[in-house]
Structure 1
Amino acid sequence: MTTLPSSRAQLVVSEGLPHPLGATFTGTGVNFAVFSAHATRIEVCLFDEAGEVETARIALPEYTDEVWHGHVAGVQPGARYGLRAHGPYAPESGHRFNPHKLLLDPYAKAHMGSLRWGPELFGYTLGHPDADLSFDERDSAALVPKCVVVDSRFEWTQPLGTRVPWDRTVVYETHVGGFTRRHPGVPAAQQGTFAGLAHDDVLRTIADLGVTSVELLPIQMFLDQSYLVDKGLKNYWGYDTLGFFALDPRYLSQPTIDEFKGLVDRMHAHGLEVILDVVYNHTPEGNELGPTLCFKGLDNASYYRLMPAGDGIGPRYYINDTGTGNTLNLSHPRVLQMVTDSLRYWVSEMRVDGFRFDLATILAREPHGFDEGGGFLDSCRQDPVLSSIKLIAEPWDCGPGGYQVGQFPPGWAEWNDRYRDTVRAFWRGDEGKAADLASCLTASGGLFNKRGRRPWASVNFITAHDGFTLADLVSYNDKHNEANGEDNRDGHGENLSWNCGAEGPTQDEEILALRSRQQRNMLATLLLSQGTPMLLAGDEFGRTQQGNNNAYCQDNEISWIDWAGIDDAGHQLRAFTRRLLALRREQPVLRRMRFLTGQAQGEGGHPDVRWLAPDGQAMADAHWNDAHTRAFAVMLDGRSPRSAISGEGHDASLLLLFNGWEDEVRFTLPDAPAGGWRLVLDTADPAIEGEQDVREHTAIGRSLQVLVSQPQA
């Protein structure tokens, strides 16, 4: 036992425990535990309340199973701290220890302050002829945020573990800051924060729309990259996580994690799930020329995938499957533990309901490449906490063999970019898209119908944070990213968009009407398809980003939702979206838990889906193979049983009419299963209300209709 001086009091240090990792308040002090397989000493540095003056430096006294640990009596929740790691500075061997650099604790539950860029942050001397082989002795403590010891107690009002079934899930992707930054019902001090999003008026607006699950862009602690700061921009989206257990302070109106817990509690009270967009594939420490902020200084050779020795390369350099300079090494058991510990923390302590994983293919990589049976995916599959929540993969990265849509194991849902591209292309008028659209409407069974996976595994979307908004998709042929400061070189060049006759804003009434109908066409396609729909916040009322399809650095009016600026057309589009979501909710045939095959189901022998040409005849191969086919009908038969054990079904049947031509098309309708056909929705006439006993219908150019045949009670 050792006693060390402090400006506050005498701190009594004992051995403590090697678990749990991080800083844990014990009631009498704090237990610190830090993994490092190659460090020779780990020190905890305590700071004053402002995080500016170092008040004590404590060498952790014990080393067990590659974990440095110690208990410091007298330290209380709210204490500010950082770490220093001693060890070899040998970049050519993969080691970059530098005790002059204050490091963040990978397991810190909270941070205070923000990073200020300066040469002191780098383990080597910037501008030195030996580059990263040089060694910098300047102290970085004044420039880095400080970790904070937290008190995890919180009084929840909502029960734990009540989640929305997958077949009823509708994901709503949004940004904590941008959603309320200009919201008139949120006090100015809370706009853009968790507290602002937790306002009942805000949550009622979301719940009233009919979505079920709010997916938040990254809220774990992240950095503004130096090149953005130099241009006066910010990392708005947040895809550069440094603290996997901590909230980013910029979204807190008060410096307490209780604010986020309160948001989750209020969202649950409104029947809404919380899904976090998370980034476990890389960190902002970059490559060999990046700063030393956390992992690089604690144990670079363990935390990152480094180049193998040979061919004159070696572990001085980083494997860059993410395109960001580095790749986290989830093949290492302690790094895998950190990621799964983090996920369990957000579920068990913060009570979130699921995750969307950025560049998820990275997480399934082993040294030999993507492995569906890799450590991370196996860990999630067997974990009693993680296997019971929503897990959504972005199933691609920029490494070799990185595109893996449909290849994730059972239990996972996946973003389906083929759905996005097909729907965009069909409504733009591209040829040869009818068969692809049919597959998309039935949850892309060719990709996902295997190993007992369900239709919900296909997360269908047309727009997301990355790319055009829905309004811009029908208003711009080209990207307009000049505000990003990269001469419009950034962002996707091919968006499958169509401006309907004019680039950007216009006063032409015919073009505006067509744009409105095209938005309704794509929203209707999305919300009437089998699978899990994802809606980008603001698309329901025509939010624009002025043609910017890569607004990752635009923390301003380009990205923020302009609530006061929603016009009559926007309110009408939102009302139409609510009708679509209500229809999806009310009609079980739109939410089947088995893939539609077109085969007879149940004792009555009714096919679950039928594809019809405009003349009412069954679609033949000649129709599907004809590149000019742009009009067809799909009948979803409610007499087909919902599941293998439900017996004969008694749901309503739906008939969807798609006309992708510019000209009108006459549809002859098939015999209705029961009660005749009733027209309940028309993208050409959003105000239509239930035209009865329809036998034929003329669909105007570029429109979609929904008819219902309701069985007798």
Structure 2
Amino acid sequence: MTPLPDRLAPGSPYPLGSTFDGLGVNFAVFSAHAETMELCIFEPTGRREIRRYELPEVTDEVFHGYLPEARPGLLYGFRAHGPYRPEEGHRFNPNKLLLDPYAKKIHGQVRWTDALHSYRVGSRRGDLSFDRRDSAPAMPKAVVTTGAFDWRGDRRPNTPWSETVIYEAHPKGLTQLLEEAPVNERGTFAALSHPKVIAHLQRIGVTALELLPVHAFVQDRRLQEMGLANYWGYNTLAFFAPEGRYLAYGSGEEIRIAVRRLHAAGIEVILDVVYNHTAEGSELGPTFNFRGLDNRTYYRAVEDNPRYCVNDTGTGNTLDLSHPRVLQMVADSLRHWAESYHIDGFRFDLGVTLGRDGNNGFDPRSGFFDVLRQDPVLNQLKLISEPWDIGPGGYQLGHHPPGFAEWNDKFRDSTRRNWRGDDGQRPEFASRIAGSADLFDRRARRPWASVNFITAHDGQPLADVVSYEGKHNEANGEDNRDGHSDNNSCNWGAEGPTDDPKIQEIRDRVARSMLATLLLSLGTPMLLGGDEFGRTQHGNNNAYAQDNALSWFDWSQIESDRGHALSDFVRRLTAIRRYYPLVRAGHFLHGEVEVEPGLLDIDWFDERGEHLSDADWENAQGKALVMRRVRRCEDGRIEAVTMMMNASHEPLVFRFPPPGFARRLVIDSADPQAPERDVGDEIEVKDRAVVLVVGTEARA
């Protein structure tokens, strides 16, 4: 190792983080309230601090310095000096080593000890006390990085929103049991783009792979002490660095190679990102980085008592994106993943939190939305929000600005209730499968703004939705108190696995009907990975702590006759979606446009082929619904796509409404392997089933 100089040169306040220029490394870190900032250098194992420098300059609240002759691979951290006055929101403690918020690579993991807290744990003064122990031995270190990946030839798929089919999966769980991958690569990015994975995604028609968080995160102390793990990763430590557990060889190049291979296969990569909170928890939590660098700036505080964190996220703290430097960090992080890793889009966890302007509530014109919408890099990507949090006014579905899509839980709940056979579902269900125009048709938004889903990582997979009426989260160690209590699910006669063929037949049919609803409705469909082959979590609807076979993909199940048959049904549905523009219409249909006299762009009927009257819509017992979409093709033909849905417990004969098209049945959830066939003026639809019929008629 080159001998280190006695002092730092002034360096530059930009860019933030560590930057190697070929001759040395520039360090820059923001803090509005620190008095001095120290750079700590560690030997290659990270165990011993070998040098400490005071950053010599501060410009616009950015401390900076330049270390000549330093090289990539150098391990470092910061120590911030300033007031320790928790009652004022200041928690500076130079005894605590702080991870660079802009670290692009991390060495080591958090090792839990009370020394990670800035106060004396157990003290009668609580967080007003002061802890003088050095936390460095328990802290991961930032790593200076450099290098450029050769992206020449990489082409982003840029799949239009209206043609997008999202597949949500866990970066580890997807391949942990993939026997074709080398043992050391399973569960990592090195296996994510394995030919078998890509072939499966292509076969079922996926256009975008949405991954649960891949930012470096912390394993919760409570879970480790219980013998569990933070599997989902919603506990971010560093917004620029990848999670080391997902790297087989410790290099971010694995992510870039995986993205490039997925792009070559026509598959976009979307990341689930968590900018609403950090791993530091409440005011009683540990000090990893943000709390020690500038607690008062990074976190929203209770307005009349800055000692306490605002907890709109349910995790103990809330990042304050109304502060320009915090907002800059989020935008810089997003741009880093978009440019350095060629990520195609982001799904924002608890997106309402990001759109809150301080303590003033949600605002679709907040700085966060404005920055992303005007940024020339980010505004070209797919941006998806989870439109709720637990704060005041925390449910904002449909209220995000143009350019954002939103998870639509109303679609999920309505679809589940409809196919469960609940009374009074027809009006709500119709609104959801028609693209939720009541929520999204404003400010020139399109149907794709509604991300439709019936299942997601947070909840039960589809096989469990049709097999369990209650949650079974005992393995989480919380006496089954965690997770949602109402899943709008149904076991159809037995709780959990059963050998009864009649119950299993009903379950399979309902599952297929839900999948058909998802993929044949207007909006952007999101499929939970594993639903296409019947993956189960045995009733657990909150598997956040289950980093084991309960959550991992069983590839032998995918290849079984039953799993293959279900995934083939999904393949047929996505093929229909691609082939028929009406299924994925790019504009809202309101039934106000006549394709020709008497023939509306969208129309609704009952099983008799008659228009639904106001009384029919209000009939709580009505379980049959027909949605017909119509367009004029470029060659002058009229094309109609008709969904016939029977949510009752008895088969029904559906009669087609006029006019008399030449009709062809293309999918039937009650008979998934049936070939396409021509049909006449009526058709029998089995109970709890949906069919799709395509009709054409040549007209001048």
Same fold, judged at TM 0.5 (above): yes
SS in 2 for 1:585: helix
> Is contact 1:415-1:459 (8 Å) kept?
yes
Shift of 1:77: 1.0
State how 1:525-536 maps to structure 2 within 5 Å: 525-536=517-528
Query: Aligned pair 1:626/2:612, yes or no?
Result: no
On the 8 A contact 1:108/1:147 being kept in 2, the answer is yes
> In the TM superposition, what is the alpha-carbon distance from 1:603 to its structure 2 partner?
6.2
Identity of aligned residues (%): 52
Are residue 345 (structure 1) and residue 331 (structure 2) matched? Answer: no
SS at match of 2:26: strand
Pairing 1:242–2:233 present: no
What letter matches 2:641 in structure 1? L
User: What value does the CA root-mean-square deviation take over the aligned residues?
Assistant: 1.5
Matches within 5 A, 1:311-710: 314-366=305-357, 367-566=359-558, 567-601=560-594, 606-639=599-632, 650=637, 652-671=639-658, 674=661, 676-710=662-696
Corresponding residue SS for 2:468: coil
| Pair 701,161 (structure 1): closer, same or farther in 2 beyond 3 Å | closer
Equivalent AA in structure 1 for residue 46 of structure 2: G
Spell out, residue by residue over 1:61-118, the C-alpha distance to the aligned partner (whole angstroms, 9 max, x if none). Answer: 1000000001111111111111111111110111000011011100010111111100
> 1:604, 1:242 → 2: CA distance?
61
Who is 1:153 aligned against? 148
Paired residues, what number?
697
Q: CA deviation at 1:162?
A: 3.9
Provide structure 1 residue ranges, at least 5 long, that are not aligned to the other structure. Answer: 1-5, 642-646
SS at match of 1:179: coil
Offset of 1:158 from its aligned partner? 3.7
Pair 1:16-2:3 in alignment: no
Q: What SS class does the counterpart of residue 55 from structure 1 fall into?
A: strand
Q: Deviations over 1:143-196 (max 9, x none)?
A: 111111111311125435441110100110000100000012111100000001
Counterpart for residue 267 of structure 1: 262
In 1, the alpha carbon distance for the partners of 2:636 and 2:186 equals 48
Q: Residues of 1 paired with 2:669 and 2:6: CA distance?
A: 70
Query: SS at the partner of 1:315?
Result: strand
Contact persistence 1:11–1:73 (CA under 8 A): no
1:49 CA drift (Å)? 1.4
SS in 2 for 1:500: coil
Q: Which 10-residue stretch deviates more, 575-584 or 255-264? A: 255-264
Amino acid paired to 1:152: G
Q: Which runs of 5+ in 2 are unaligned?
A: none
Give me the whole-angstrom Cα distance separating, in 1, the residues matched to 2:438 and 2:394: 19
Q: Tell me if structure 1 keeps the 8 A contact 2:389–2:395.
A: yes
Q: What secondary structure, in the 3-state scheme, does the structure 2 residue paired with 1:704 have?
A: strand
1:113 aligns with 2:108: yes
Distance across 1 between alignment mates of 2:635 and 2:436: 25
Cα deviation for residue 565 of structure 1 reads 3.3
The more displaced of 693-702 and 448-457 is 693-702
Deviation at 1:648, TM superposition (A): 8.2
1:58 aligns with 2:72: no
Deviation at 1:432, TM superposition (A): 0.3
Q: How does 1:46-195 map to 2 (within 5 A)?
A: 46-195=41-190
Question: In 1, Cα distance between the equivalents of 2:697 and 2:370?
Answer: 45
User: What is the letter of the counterpart of residue 488 of structure 1?
Assistant: N
**One-letter code aligned to 2:112:** W
Shift of 1:540: 0.2
User: Partners in 2 of 1:648 and 1:447 — Cα distance?
Assistant: 34
Distance 1:422 1:649 in 2: 36
8 Å Cα contact 2:667/2:693 also seen in 1: yes
Cα distance between partner residues in 2 of 1:56 and 1:110 = 20
Match of 2:271 among 276, 296, 299: 276
Specify the SS of the correspondent of 1:638.
Answer: strand
Distance 1:479 1:102 in 2: 42
- What is the match of residue 644 of structure 1? none
**TM superposition shift of 1:692:** 1.1
State the Cα deviation string for residues 596-655 of structure 1 (Å, max 9, x = none): 10122456674111111111111111111100110021111132x7xxxxx787573211
Deviates more, 1:517-526 or 1:562-571: 562-571
Does the residue aligned with 1:652 lie in a helix, a strand or coil? Answer: strand
Please report how far the alpha carbon of residue 10 of structure 1 lies from its aligned counterpart in structure 2 after TM superposition: 3.2
CA distance in 2, matches of 1:667, 1:487: 48
Superposed CA offset, 1:17-37 (max 9, x none): 100111111111111000000
8 Å contact kept, 2:116–2:135: yes
Tell me which residue corresponds to 2:30: 35
Amino acid paired to 1:535: L
Aligned partner of 2:199 in structure 1 is 204
Distance 2:229 2:153 in 1: 35
Q: Report if the CA contact (8 A) 1:215-1:277 is conserved.
A: yes
Cα distance 1:96–1:600, how it changes in 2: closer, same or farther (>3 A)? same
Post-superposition CA distance 1:289-340 (Å, at most 9, x none) = 100110000000000001123xxxx111111111111100001110010001
Distance in 2 of aligned mates of 1:209 and 1:607:
32
Provide TM-score, normalisation by structure 1: 0.96
Distance in 2 (CA, whole Å) between partners of 1:460 and 1:491 is: 21
Aligned-partner Cα distance in 1 for 2:229–2:370: 36
Stretch deviating more after TM superposition (601-610 or 461-470): 601-610
- The whole-number CA distance in structure 1 between the counterparts of 2:30 and 2:157 is 35
8 Å Cα contact 2:595/2:630 also seen in 1: no
Work out whether residues 158 and 268 of structure 1, in 8 Å CA contact, stay in contact via their aligned partners in 2.
no
Kept in 1, the 8 Å contact 2:205–2:574? The answer is yes
**Aligned-partner Cα distance in 1 for 2:194–2:243:** 19
